C-alpha cells in the first residue's frame, strides 16, 4: 500500500491572474499558502480473486474492468497519462468537503500522481508534480481551472507564485516568525455550508477574461498583490494585521466584480456580520458562491465574531510548510 498526503490551500491575493487566458498574454501573480488540512490517497494492488480490475472509493464506489469505464475524470486521466494498467484499489479521503474553494480537486490530482509515481518506484520534484497536474486538468480533462492550486499543493508553504507564458515559478514569501504567528493566531475560517462546481462558476469569469473585460480589475489585483508583499516585509508588527486586512477587503471587492456568480446574499451577509463584530478583513476562498470564508480578527474580538457566526462551522486553519508527500509505503 502507498499513501500520499497533500495539503489544501488558501489564496490571499491575485486570484484570477493565474488563469492561462490571462497570464499567457500578461504576467500573473498570486500570494497564498498551503494549509494544515489534507487530501489523502491510498493505492494498493488488487488481487486476482476479485470480479473487477479496479476499485475506486470516494463519495461513491466504482468497480470497473476497463479504464474507459472509470467515471472519476482525474483518476482516469492520471492513469492514462502515466500509462498505468495494473489492477488497483484506490481510496480518496479528505479532511474537508470537496467543492468548497480550497483547491481539493487539484490537491487530489497532485497527490494521486505522487502516489502513482511512488508505485512505479520514482521520486518526482514538486515542480514536475504541479506542472503535470496542470496538464492533466487543463489539457486532458479540459477543466476551467487556474494554475495556482496545483503549485500550492505540490510545494507547500506561504508563497508567491508568478505565472508567465514561458514558466511558472514559486517564490517563498519572506515573513518573520512574529508576523507568521500573528497571521496564524488571527485567522478564523468558517464553512458557509454552500458547495458548488467551480467549473460552472468560472464560465462567466473566464469569458470576461478572454474578452479582456476583466483586465482593468485583474491589473488592479496585481497591484494589490505587490502592496501585500510590501506590507508583509516592511510594516511593523503593530500595523501588520490592519494593513493586510485592508488589502484583503480591497481584493475581495475586486474579485466580486470578475463575475456575477462570485458572491450571493448569504455570503455578503456573513462578510458584513463578521466586519461589524470586529473582523478587520477577509475573503471567500476559491471561485466563489460558497465554500469557506476567512477573516483576520484580533484576539480580543474573536469570541465576538464566533458568536455572530455561531450558525457556521469553524475550521482551525494554519500555514503548512510541506507540500504533497508519501507518508506510507508497504509494497
Strand partners, 328: 3
pLDDT at 129: 98
pLDDT at 21: 93
Helices 73-81 + 104-119 axis angle, to 10: 40
pLDDT tens per residue, the chain (331 residues)? Answer: 999 999 999 999 999 999 999 999 999 999 999 999 999 999 999 877 889 999 999 999 999 999 999 999 999 999 999 999 999 999 999 999 888 889 999 999 999 999 999 999 999 999 999 999 999 999 999 998 999 999 999 999 999 999 999 999 999 999 999 999 999 999 999 998 876 555 556 677 788 888 888 889 999 999 999 999 999 999 999 999 999 999 999 999 888 877 777 778 888 899 999 999 999 999 988 766 678 999 999 999 999 999 999 999 999 999 999 999 999 999 7
Query: Residue 304 and residue 289: Cα distance in Å, rounded?
Result: 25
**Cβ atoms of residues 174 and 229 within 8 Å:** no
288, with CB counted inside 10 A (0-12, 13-18, 19+), is: buried
Domain residue spans of the chain: 2-173+320-329, 177-315
pLDDT at 198: 55
How many other CB atoms sit within 10 Å of the CB of residue 24? 12
Three-state DSSP class for residue 240: helix
| Element counts in the chain: helices (H) and strands (E) | 11, 12
Query: Residue 131 and residue 136: Cα distance in Å, rounded?
Result: 9
Separation in Å, CA 110 to CA 4, 119, 156, 317: 9, 14, 12, 21
pLDDT at 140: 98
- 177-315: same fold as 2-173+320-329? no
How many other CB atoms sit within 10 Å of the CB of residue 247? 19
* Sheet of 313-315, strands arranged across: 281-284, 292-296, 187-191, 313-315
CATH number for the domain formed by residue range(s) 2-173+320-329:
3.30.230.10
**Cβ atoms of residues 44 and 88 within 8 Å:** yes
pLDDT at 18: 95
**Cβ atoms of residues 159 and 173 within 8 Å:** yes
Which CATH number among 3.30.70.890, 3.40.640.10, 3.40.190.10, 2.40.30.60 corresponds to the domain 177-315? 3.30.70.890
Residue with cell 476499485: 55
Residue 101, phi-psi category: left (phi > 0), alpha (psi -120 to 50), beta (remainder): left
Amino acid at each position: 500500500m502507498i499513501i500520499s498526503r497533500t495539503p489544501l490551500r488558501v489564496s490571499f491575493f491575485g486570484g484570477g491572474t493565474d488563469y492561462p487566458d490571462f497570464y499567457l498574454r500578461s504576467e500573473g501573480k498570486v500570494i497564498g499558502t498551503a494549509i494544515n488540512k489534507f487530501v489523502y490517497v491510498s493505492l494498493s494492488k488488487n488481487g486476482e480473486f476479485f470480479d473487477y480490475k479496479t476499485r475506486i472509493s470516494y463519495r461513491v464506489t466504482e468497480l470497473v474492468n476497463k479504464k474507459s469505464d472509470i467515471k472519476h475524470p482525474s483518476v482516469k486521466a492520471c492513469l492514462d497519462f502515466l500509462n498505468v494498467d495494473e489492477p488497483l484499489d484506490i481510496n480518496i479521503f479528505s479532511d474537508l468537503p470537496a467543492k468548497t474553494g480550497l483547491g481539493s480537486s487539484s490537491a487530489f490530482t497532485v497527490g494521486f500522481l505522487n502516489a502513482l509515481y511512488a508505485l512505479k518506484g520514482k521520486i518526482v520534484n514538486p515542480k514536475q508534480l504541479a506542472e503535470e497536474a496542470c496538464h492533466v486538468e487543463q489539457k486532458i480533462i479540459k477543466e476551467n481551472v487556474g494554475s495556482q492550486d496545483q503549485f500550492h499543493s505540490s510545494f507547500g508553504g506561504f508563497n508567491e507564485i508568478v505565472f508567465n507564458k514561458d514558466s511558472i515559478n514559486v517564490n517563498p514569501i519572506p515573513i518573520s516568525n512574529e508576523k507568521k504567528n500573528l497571521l496564524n493566531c488571527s485567522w478564523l475560517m468558517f464553512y458557509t455550508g454552500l458547495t458548488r462546481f467551480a467549473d460552472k462558476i468560472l464560465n462567466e469569469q473566464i469569458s470576461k477574461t478572454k474578452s479582456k473585460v476583466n483586465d482593468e480589475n485583474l491589473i488592479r489585483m496585481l497591484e494589490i498583490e505587490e502592496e501585500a508583499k510590501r506590507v508583509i516585509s516592511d510594516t511593523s508588527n503593530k500595523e501588520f494585521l490592519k494593513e493586510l486586512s485592508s488589502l484583503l477587503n480591497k481584493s475581495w471587492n475586486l474579485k466580486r466584480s470578475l463575475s456575477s456568480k462570485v458572491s450571493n446574499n448569504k455570503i455578503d451577509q456573513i462578510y458584513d456580520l463578521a466586519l461589524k463584530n470586529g473582523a478587520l478583513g477577509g475573503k471567500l476562498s476559491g471561485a466563489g458562491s460558497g465554500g469557506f470564508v476567512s477573516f483576520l480578527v484580533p484576539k480580543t474580538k474573536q469570541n465576538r465574531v464566533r458568536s455572530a457566526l455561531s450558525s457556521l462551522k469553524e475550521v482551525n486553519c494554519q500555514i503548512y510548510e510541506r507540500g504533497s508527500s508519501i507518508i506510507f509505503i508497504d509494497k
